[in-house]
Each structure stands twice: as structure tokens, then as C-alpha cells.
Amino acid sequence: MKSVEKNKRDSNIELLRIIAACGVIMLHYNNWNIGGGLAYVEQGSANFYFLCGIECLCIGAVDLFMLISGYFSEGKTSFRISKVLALLFQMIVIKAVKIAVNIFAYHEVYNIGEVLWALVPKDYFTWTYIAVNILGPYINICADALGKIGRKKLLILLFVLFSIWPTVLSLISSNTGISLNDLSIVTSSGVDSGYSFINYLILFCIGLCIKKDKVDIAHPLICLFPIYLLHVFWFAITLSNQKGYGIPLSYCNPIVILEVVFVFLAFNRAHDLNSKIINLISKASFIVYLTHNYFIQLFHIKEYVLANIWIMIAHLVFTTAVLYGLGFVIFLVLSPLIWFVNKYFLRVEWVIDAK
């Protein structure tokens, strides 16, 4: 019975995990240096404003992963090192497959040093995700000691110091041309687009506190809608002016964080959702994250963002579905190997005593 209840409780969040992975794909569809959607689209066109809307809708995808992780970590005072090793092992396997394809399909030549370096599991988000989760048991212990009011005060303080303050500095700097990096408390080079340990730690803590304090609001999507419209308008204006357009897309922007929280709260209310299919598909989300960039440039994005808007939308949906599908197939192929290695080689547990 407990297993059934768990599926009922979790499938709504697992669906959100799938959507977050699709959001990452759409971000990279738009990305100037990856898919190129926003680089190629005609500014001021209907396609342009649609892609701006998609960018603002999906920019919180990475933050969502961290918030979900914090939510499911609530109450845990132990952390299995095997989880870290399993993530790293998946990265190494994917990189090994890529090298094999390059060698046998494209006849590329590697020396031993290049192969070993290519196999190193290099990914900033994954390592930051691992670091935050390793600290999860300690965060739980501290959160329990603070109590509900203390947790609320801490989250407000973190939000002001590491979200509002950096964003204000970025806005002033963008509009005056004066560097304010010496006033930054995130990195010495400024906000760094929110790609920081502290931002992911904040999202983890928010997720943990949402579950610990049973946070719920009646109409989260109604709260989300005006914030999202403001976000799209802000981004479209800055992109059109080619000035400060990275600020509304920063992962630590207060608007982005609020959007992530309201989206999560909306899905968290769907307690009755119970689907083994959703739970299975969501397991591929990390593999999808690792693999989609290997294929995305095969989809001729430039051609379609310059086409009729409905053709572009259909192409965006098609590209996202196919890339997630490819990741899911790779996950199914690798699952027996991953399961075997996890079961017989990576069973290590680190237990933290709350006393």
C-alpha cells in the first residue's frame, strides 16, 4: 500500500521533471551558440516574440531540477555516495559512446591522453547538483533546528542577498556602464547568470521547506501569469535593444525563482496523479540532459525559425519530443548496465547522525 501511495504522491512531480528536461531542450533550441533559434529569428516578428515567450517559460528548468531535489530530500539524514557514483558513471558511459561513434562513424583519431580526458565527467551543473545534494542531510538537520519561523527568515534573507541584490547590481551596471562587481556577493565577476552554487543551494532549500512546512496556495497559476507576462515583456525589450538581455534570463533573477516556485506549487497540488509510465519516462531525464546537445544541430533550426510561425512551433515540439525520445531509448539500452554497476559495485552509504 505504501508503494501505491508513493506513486500517487510522486507522479505529478515526476511529470514536472519530464517537463523540466523538455524545457532544457527548448532553451538549447533557442541558445545562440547551440541551436541558434534566437540568433537566426527575425527580430520583431511573431516568431521572435513566441521564442521569447518560450525562453522565459523554460529558463527556470534547471532551477526546477534543484527545487525538486530539495523537495524529495526533506527529512533525510543520510546520503548514499552510490548516487554520486551512479551519476558520474552515466556521464562516463555517454562520453564513451560518443567517442566510439566519432571513431567508427567519423573516423576521428584519438591518442590515449585525449580519450582519458574526454572520459572525465565534466559538467558544471552536475557537479554543483552533486555538491548541494551531499550537503542535503546537514541542511535538513539545520532546517529542523531553525523551526518554521526561522526557516522562513532564512529563505527571505537568502533571497534578498543572493537574488534581489545581484539583480539590482546587474540592472544598474547594464544601464550605466559602470562595473559593480566589487559589490557582488556571488562571484567577483558578478552574478555569472545565476550559474552558482549558492543559487542552486537556495532552490534546494526552497524545495525542502515547501515539503517540510507543507506550503500550498490556492491558485498558483493565477499568481504566475502576471509575473510571466512581465518577464516576457522585459526580455523582449532588452533583446530588441541588445542591452542587458542576460539579466531576465539569469537563473538567480527573482522573477525566474518566483516562476519556478509557482509552477512547482501548481504541479504539487495534483496529488491524485498516479502513472507508472510517467514515473518510468522521468527516469530518463538525466540521460536526456546529457545527450540532447549531441543531436540538436541535426534539426536545421535556422530554416524553421524563419518559416511560418505554425511550422516553427510544430518543429520546436517535434525536435523536443524526438530528442527526449532518443534520450529515453539510450536510457533503456543503458539501464541494465547502470543497474548492474549500481547494485554490485556502487553500494556505499554515508550516514549522518542528527544527534
Which pTM does this prediction carry?
A: 0.90
- Give the model's pLDDT for residue 202: 95
Rounded to 10°, the helix 309-345/2-30 angle is 130
For range 197-213, the mean pLDDT? 95
Confidence category of residue 142, pLDDT binned at 50, 70, 90: very high
Confidence category of residue 7, pLDDT binned at 50, 70, 90: very low
Give strand pairing partners of 79.
Answer: 350
Comparison of pLDDT for 89 and 305, the residue scoring more: 305
SS3 readout for the chain: CHHHHHHHHHHHHHHHHHHHHHHHHHHHHHCCCCCCHHHHCCCCCHHHHHHHHHHHHHCCHHHHHHHHHHHHHCCCCEECHHHHHHHHHHHHHHHHHHHHHHHHCCCCCCCHHHHHHHHCCCCHHHHHHHHHHHCHHHHHHHHHHHHHHHHHHHHHHHHHHHHHHHHHHHHHHHHHCCCCHHHCCCECCECHHHCCHHHHHHHHHHHHHHHHCCCCCCCHHHHHHHHHHHHHHHHHHHHHHCCCCCCCCCCCCHHHHHHHHHHHHHHHCCCCCCCHHHHHHHCCHHHHHHHHHHHHHHHCHHHHHCCCHHHHHHHHHHHHHHHHHHHHHHHHHHHHHHHHHHHHHCCCCEECCCC
- Give the model's pLDDT for residue 222: 93
Comparison of pLDDT for 268 and 101, the residue scoring more: 268
Confidence category of residue 5, pLDDT binned at 50, 70, 90: very low
Distance CA 245, CA 170 (A): 11
Residues 6+ apart with CB under 8 A from 238: 244, 245, 247, 248
- Give the model's pLDDT for residue 349: 61
Distance CA 125, CA 183 (A): 25
Q: Where are the domains of the chain?
A: 2-349
Sign, CA torsion 206/211/213/216 = positive
For range 152-163, the mean pLDDT? 95
Confidence category of residue 83, pLDDT binned at 50, 70, 90: confident
